[in-house]
Each structure stands twice: as C-alpha cells, then as structure tokens.
Amino acid sequence: SKHSYLPRDLAWLGGTEVELWIDQEGFRAIRPMMRLMGYSPRSRSLLPYGERGVSSDVSGGVAEFMPVKRESFAFHYAILDGLPMLRRVTVGGDESRDYLS
C-alpha cells in the first residue's frame, strides 16, 4: 500500500491534502498545498490517561505534511504593513469547515 506506514485506524489519512490560505491584509494571497508524507508513532498521546473506545494504535503520533512543491513567496515589509496571516485551512478541498476558530 502507498501509505503502509499509517496505523490501520488512520488509513483514511492516506490521500489527505491540506491547503493553507495566507494573505497580507487581504492582498498577496497565497495558497500552498501540503500532502501527507509520513507518520511518526513516537509522540506524546493526546489522550494521556487513555479513553474507552479508542484504539491503542492511535493513542499518539504525528502526521507529517510537506509542501507539494517548493515555492517562495514575497510579502511586503514596512512599519505600517500588517504581517502575513493564516486565514483558513482547508482539507481535501472542502471549504465548508473552519479549522481556525
């Protein structure tokens, strides 16, 4: 399998793409795409005391995403310019969910 490194319970992550929407005060918008490239089971569990009904192979770990292509982006820098901001995160092209609020 292409994503054989994933635990069985996380196989659904296999083709996941994450897109970051970043802009600087509504201008110079960029939307870099990230794709799942790895998984590390060696991480602190998000469920430190365990939880009923949760499989042991998803009790901790980190999904590693990398950019689909290497790009650099230019933003303006001046005292009165705002900083670039992460505005939205989409997963699988689905813009109906808000992952930042």
Q: Give the three-state DSSP class for 43.
A: strand
pTM: 0.72
Residues with Cβ within 8 Å of 13's Cβ and at least 6 positions away in sequence, in order, are 3, 6, 36, 39, 63
Nearest to 38 by CA among 60, 58, 59, 13: 13
pLDDT at 13 > cutoff 60:
yes
Residues with Cβ within 8 Å of 52's Cβ and at least 6 positions away in sequence, in order, are none
Mean pLDDT of 27-48: 80
54-82: pLDDT as tens digits: 555 555 678 889 999 999 988 888 888 88
Pairwise CA distance, residues 14 & 35, whole Å: 9
Q: Give the three-state DSSP class for 75.
A: coil
